[in-house]
Structures are given as C-alpha cells and as structure tokens.
Structure 1
Amino acid sequence: MAFAGPAFAQTDAGDEVVPLWPGAIPGARGTRIVRKVNDRAKTAATHDRSITGIDAPALVVKRPARPNGSAALLLPGGGYGFLSYDNEGIEQARWLNALGVTCFILLYRLPAEGWTDRHLVPLQDAQRAMRVIRAGAARFGVEPQRIAVLGFSAGGHLAGSLATRHAEATYTPVDAADRLSARPDVAGLIYPVIAMDPATTHKGSHDNLLGPSPDPALMAAASVERRVTADTPPVFLTHAGDDATVPVANSLTMYAALLAAKRPAELHVFDEGGHGFGVRLAKGVPASAWPTLFTAYAKRKGVFPAP
C-alpha cells in the first residue's frame, strides 16, 4: 500500500505502508484516538519526529537499493507513550538499508491510549507484524528465516517480549498469516527496558504499559527476564553505564537470564553514551560502536549474510 493521506501523515511521501489488521483491531473499544506528530528538529533540513495517537498500527517498509534477503523489524522507543520515529526508526533503516537489509518500521499501538488489555496491545502488534512480514516474504524480497527484530528503550522491551513470548496466544487469529511463527531469528535490544520491578524499571514505560498499580502477577508476566525459554532466539544487548533514564541493570538482568537458560547472547556495556543515542553518537563516543557489533552478531547467527 502506498502513502495514504492523513492516517499515515507521519511517514514520508512514497513510503509503502502495510496495515497490520485487515478488519477490527484487537482491543478496540471505540475510543477516539487522534494521530499527532511532534517534530523536535531544530532545522528544516532534518526531522526528529515523535508520534502519538496510533489508531491504525502499520508497517512502514524501507527497501534497500541492493537487497540481500535479510530483514529487520524496527521497534522505536518512547516509554510506551510515544514513538521516536526518526531517531529509532528512519535513521536505523538508513544504515541497515546500506547493508542490503529490508526494514519494516512498526507503528505499534500505545497501551495507555484507550485499548482493552493494554498490557498485551504492543505485543499483539509485534507478533502480527512478524507474521505479516513472513506471509509477504516473496513480495518483500526477504527470506522468512532471516528476520531480525531491533528495539530501543521501551521498543527494546517490546523486542524482548517478542523474542520470549512469540508463541503466546495474545489475540484471536484473523487470517492465514497467523498460522506462521512470530519468532524473530535474532533480537537486538538497545538500551532496553527489561524488568518491571520498580527498583529497576523505567517508571514511564511501566506505568504506560501496565498502569500505575498493576497486579503483581501482571508485572511478573511483563518482566522479560522471567520469560526466557529454550526457544528464545539469539539476543544481542547493548547499554551505556551512564544511562540515567533506563538503568543498565536491565540489560545485565536479561543477560544473566539468558546465560542461566543456556541461550546464545552477547552483551556490550559502554562507559559513555547516555540514553536514546540511536546512531547519533560521534565516532569517539564508546557506544557508537554498537551497529558494527550488532551487524557482526547477526552475521554469525546467519541472519545477515557474511561478506
């Protein structure tokens, strides 16, 4: 589907936009949700858009000039309260496209905007997105067994949830695509929110996803480190020790859980980088190395092709 007017006004003209749900959206209860785009860029030559009001979740497809069959589902962060569309979507697609990776930026629903079962809403969209990509693999020019997920901050929590809960039934199947696996072939969790424990979590992500006073069982179910199984795919983690927004303990906790479950995992913790750096760090800043490290990891796991 091509760019389709106001409903997808946050995308760029000519973008291919694929709606996730062919009919009723799970959890819809008639709440009026209005799409809003806030561009925080300081110059007219750049964009730094954040998006709220995700009424119709969709995939924005970014195709490389020379596709190599690999794909990445990109999950921007924003504390489950907005989507950091340029920093953790468009700019990630740009460097991945240069490697030949076909990218799918997921405009997933924000749980506090008026949906039933708010704690499941982002995961429903992520599962469905992976299945839609696999169902359309031939059309998109990708191989269904070479699909990564890359998530940032709260999007890292969503990517981790997809990696650990891909087989969980979170919605009623709607078509043949839902017979396909939602398991990513490798997961990249970049400065991710992992734990829902108040001592470790990011409060904004926790409250937006679960509400301010969730049932302890619900909180445990949403804690990614507790959901690791023998079928969790290889996981790449990166974080900066000076992250003042999402404590580095989140990545450390996840890495320990993966090791305990004997799942393949790689962790990089840098002393400098802060939070929300995407690919915007100067080359001299330690955390700027993460895209090269993630690329190498995905190649070793057979998802990105070796040179």
Structure 2
Amino acid sequence: MKSTSLFLVLMMIFTVFAIGQEKLELYTGNLPNAKEGADLGENIPELYFYKPTEIKHKIVFLIIPGGGYSHVAMKHEGHDVAKTLSDLGYPAFVLRYRLPKADQMLDKRIGPIQDAQQALSYIRIHSTSLGIEQGKVGVLGFSAGGHLASTLSTHFEKDYLDKGLSSATLRPDFSVLLYPVISLDDDITHKGSKTNLIGPDFLESDVTHFSNELNVNKDTPPTYLMHAIDDKVVPIQNAERYLEALQKNGVACKLFVYDTGGHGFGMVNKTDTRSWLDDMINWLEKL
C-alpha cells in the first residue's frame, strides 16, 4: 500500500512538471467580498502558472476564459492556450475567477474584477520569485472573459480590492480580447452575461459602468481584438465599438476578423486556416 501511494504521489508531481503547470495561492486569508458563512462550493478563485522550459520573451499573459459568467471554460479557453504560449517561450497564467453570486457575495458585480485585479497584481509582485524577468504583463480574455479583461483594462484607476494598489499596478500593459462581450447595451450584448453580472434588475448606472466601450481613454492599454462576422452569440459590434473608442483616443489597436467561425472556438477556427494567435503575437512583438 505504501509503495502504491508513493507511486501515485510521484505520478502527480511528474504530471505537474511535465505540463509546466503550477497552482498558486491567489489569496491568503479570507476572500474579499464574501458573505460570512456563505457556502462557496466550487466557486473559489484559482491561478495556474505555466512556466516555459526556456523563457524566450519578456511578455507575460494573464488568461481569462469565458463562460457567460455562469461557468469558466478552463480547458480550451484557458489551459490549452497557456500551454501553447508556454511552449513558445511565454510565461502564462490562467485565472479561474469567481462567478458573480448574490448569495455568496456582498456585491456580486465586483467579484470577478476583484479576482482579476488580484491576479494581475500577484504576477507583478511575485515576478522575481516566480522566475519571470520584468517586462510587459498583459491580459488575454475570451467572450465573457473578454468582458472581464476589458474591465481590467479600463477600470484600473479603481482598486476594487481596497488594498491601496496603484493604477500602475492594476493596468495591464496590453489587452487581447477574443470574441469579447464588451457592451451591456441590450442591442448588442450577450444577455446571459449581463444578467449574471449585474441582473436580474438592471440599474442604468451599472449598464454604463460595465459597458467598457464607454470607459476607454488615452491610457487604455494597446489592444488586439478578434471576432467572427457570423458570431450569433456575441455580435461583432462589441469588438467594433471598442475598436472605434480606442481609435478615437489614439490607442494602438487591431481587429482581426473572420468571416465565419461563430463563437467559442478558442485557438482554432476550423472554418479558416488563418491563425489569430500567430497574428496576435506578431502584432504584440512589434508594439
């Protein structure tokens, strides 16, 4: 029995190192914004680090998967992307953020952005101990994770954690927003994401506050966007509105457009041979 247990432990350790993945402790102590005595179940934030065998670039990615603020698509919009970037020599992190739950949180609207700000600041504060050279740290988000990434990229003047963190710490150096939910305007939003984040009763002030095309200014990070014209889940107008706001404020930006592909395809659009990821890296390296 002892030898079997030892074998299983060694296999678990080997698996972690084989894929270069390490689970980090995002918070120490109590979770911010949690109701006392609430049963959080599996709604616990997690941060995973994919450290390349050889770090070839001074660019770090914080990856935020989508899921409509109802679940987190950790595999194809998280771990798979981090593994690919790590193989290319880029340090990458995957965030499982808390889903907005009124029965668990004092203010469910800010639970996800608290975790995103904590993850970004954690990466910057612990870069030396993690073996990462100081360089650009940016955010890459899909769908509703793209909404959270755009919130991180436009709300950096506000420390949602109330820890006294500066805007320099909370501002990503770049953003990659992939078929993102950007606006909470009913004409173009993903209604499930909107309801889960700020609903079911909508205050107009919340709609404005979290419609991130309205929050762009000259200090918004350089942004790469990708969207498919035939996306019926999250209309491409989300990306187009954000792009227009970036252009008006003189922020470096690009929108990579697929004619087809729909929504939620992650790294690989099976209807088009072009790779948004290759194009994004090429764009990012030239910034």
For normalisation by structure 1, the TM-score amounts to: 0.83
Cα displacement string for residues 239-275 of structure 1 (whole angstroms, at most 9, x for unaligned residues): 0001111011100111111111111111112101110
- Does residue 1:60 correspond to 2:48, yes or no? yes
Match of 2:33 among 27, 31, 53: 27
The structure number with the bigger radius of gyration is: 2
How far 1:289 sits from its partner (Å)?
1.7
1:297 match: 283
Cα distance in 2 for residues equivalent to 1:132 and 1:162: 14
Tell whether 2:263 aligns with 1:257.
no
CA contact (8 A) 1:145 1:185 kept: no
Q: Distance in 2 between matches of 1:144 and 1:168?
A: 24
Give the C-alpha shift of residue 34 in structure 1.
1.5
Cα distance, 1:288 vs structure 2:
4.5
DSSP 3-state at the match of 1:168: coil
Quick one: distance in 2 between partners of 1:286 and 1:199?
Answer: 28
CA–CA distance in 1 between the matches of 2:91 and 2:258? 28
Indicate which of 126, 131, 138 corresponds to 1:141.
Answer: 131
Q: CA deviation at 1:13?
A: 4.9
Residues 168-215 of structure 1 deviation map (CA, whole Å, 9 limit, x = unaligned): 1212218xxx45611111100000000001111001110111012221
- Contact 1:279–1:288, Cα closer than 8 Å, also in 2: no
1:214 to 202, 207, 221: 202
Gaps of 5+ in 1: 1-11, 36-53, 302-307
Contact 1:240–1:287 (Cα < 8 Å) also in 2:
no
Q: 1:244 to 1:271 in 2, by over 3 A?
A: same
Q: Distance in 2 between matches of 1:165 and 1:86?
A: 27
Which residue identity is paired with 1:286? D
Mean alpha-carbon deviation: is it higher for 223-232 or for 140-149? 140-149
Q: How far off its partner does 1:287 sit?
A: 7.1
Q: CA deviation at 1:23?
A: 1.7
**Residue pair 1:115, 1:121 contacting (<8 A) in 2 also:** yes
Please state whether the residue corresponding to 1:142 is helix, strand or coil.
coil
Equivalent residues of 1:229, 1:261 under 8 A apart = yes
Distance change in 2, residues 1:287/1:232 (3 Å): farther
Judge conservation of contact 2:52–2:87 (CA < 8 Å) in 1.
yes
* 1:267 partner amino acid: L
Question: Which of these residues, 88, 92, 97, is aligned with residue 108 of structure 1?
Answer: 97
- 2:119 corresponds to which letter in structure 1? A
Alignment match, 2:229: 241
8 Å CA contact 1:270, 1:287 repeated in 2: no
SS at match of 1:137: coil
* Equivalence for 2:12: none
The number of aligned residues is 266
- Alignment check: 8 A CA contact 2:137 2:173 kept: yes
Conserved? CA contact 2:268–2:275, under 8 Å: no
Q: Which residue identity does 2:31 align to in structure 1?
A: I
Question: For residues 279 and 170 of structure 1, what CA distance do their matches in structure 2 show?
Answer: 31
Partner of 1:99: 88
Structure 2 residues without counterparts, runs of 5 or longer = 1-14
State how 1:60-209 maps to structure 2 within 5 Å: 60-68=48-56, 69-112=58-101, 114-173=104-163, 178=165, 181-209=169-197
